Amino acid sequence: MRKLVCVLGVALLAVAAQATGITPGNLVVERIGTGSAPLATSTATAVFLDEYTPAGFLVQSIPMPTAPSGNNKILTNSGTSSAECFVKLSVDRQYLTLMGYNATPGTTGVATSTSAAVNRTVAKVSVATGAVDTSTAFTDVASGSSPRTAITTNGTDLWLNGGAGGVRYSTFGSTTSSQLNTANPVNTRLLNIYNGQLYVSSGSTWWGVGTVGTGLPTAPTVTLTELPGFPTVTGPSPYDFYFANSSTLYVADDRTQVNGGGIQKWTFNSGTSQWQLAYTLSLGTVGARGLIGTTNGLGQTVLYATSTTTALVGITDTGSGAVYSTIATAPLNTAFRSVTFFPEPCSLLLLGLGALIRRR
């Protein structure tokens, strides 16, 4: 019966998905640059979402607009910034979202531009069709700094952040947002949503992962609270992060290996109510910035990361000595910025069945 249910789920999703949609089980990597010229500092550069199989086969590249078209605005990134525009999968798994600049490729100084002068564009990409919607642009997000995360639950609500201005809330189609926190850290890195709670990483004020208020806040003023046990002194350099479950958290740290970089595994100790660093998974000599994961049939966590050398790597957490493999490397004069994962059809179907059972 279970096999029949999974087969049926696969068939239904196959009918719903079009050729340009994202194939379940594949990875989506944000790539900066066309490869025609070296990446330039603080210069607006073309952005692509590259779909790869876990084996490293390039399926398709979805370009973000480099010129206005109808309601769609431009979305570019700064050529060499390490902390911009991390692609995210919506909680309902219907959209990919990312944020950049409404600036023509070649525009200089975008990373320090005001958002009033150079609006921060948010892209919403349909997982089912690959259609790109960049009609939303903000005048007050990440002003004078790099845009970093745009994340949504359902394609309507939207949480954003950057290198300044704190964590913010808005909705698609808006031009302004509400700043949720005014107390430090207002310079934050990556946002994620897990189990109905909004989380953020920071490399300023505290150096780890923390909660943004309670649940999914939409109005000021909330407090950003670092998870107990994470560092409160400078040193670590956390970027993206992934909850494997409520007591296991992986954090991408972009320091070199000898300085503690790689993929950190943190576990929650219910006895002390503290998070503890279990070990750091090595990516050779380099660190990581983008990070996502899933669980395989053996119950092991499989992680995918973008390294600081802009390679896409995979590693199965079998323990502290687990060995990574390189899935793909960014072509010459381009860079991989971040990665997300679209679950297999049966996983989606079982999630839906679980929701139906809970309703009953």
Residue 102's closest CA among 58, 129, 141, 152?
Answer: 141
Domain interval for residue 192: 2-343
In a domain, 355, yes or no: no
Task: Render pLDDT for 75-129 as a digit per residue (tens, 0 to 9).
Answer: 999 999 988 989 999 999 999 999 999 999 999 999 999 999 999 999 999 999 9
Q: How far apart are the first and last CA of the chain?
A: 20
pLDDT (mean) for 236-258: 97
pLDDT value at residue 11: 33
Task: Render pLDDT for 46-87 as a digit per residue (tens, 0 to 9).
Answer: 999 999 999 999 999 999 999 999 999 999 999 999 889 899
Backbone angles phi, psi at 34, to 5 degrees: -90, -15
In a domain, 205, yes or no: yes
What percent of the chain has a predicted confidence (pLDDT) above 70? 90
Cα 56 to the center of its chain, rounded Å: 19
pLDDT (mean) for 277-286: 97
Tokens 């096999």: give the residue: 3
Would you state the structure tokens that stand for residue 190, as one six-digit string? 């990556």
| Residues 53, 64: Cα–Cα separation, whole Å | 21
Asked whether the beta carbons of 17 and 23 are under 8 A apart, the reply is yes
| Residues 88, 41: Cα–Cα separation, whole Å | 24
Q: What is the CATH number of the domain that holds 298?
A: 2.120.10.80
How would residue 350 be classed by pLDDT, with cut points 50, 70 and 90?
A: very low
In a domain, 356, yes or no: no
- Number of Cβ atoms within 10 Å of the Cβ of 296: 10
pLDDT value at residue 5: 31
In a domain, 32, yes or no: yes
In the chain, how many domains are there?
A: 1
In a domain, 360, yes or no: no
Is residue 174's pLDDT more than 60?
Answer: yes
Would you state the structure tokens that stand for residue 227, as one six-digit string? 């998870």
Asked whether the beta carbons of 123 and 100 are under 8 A apart, the reply is yes
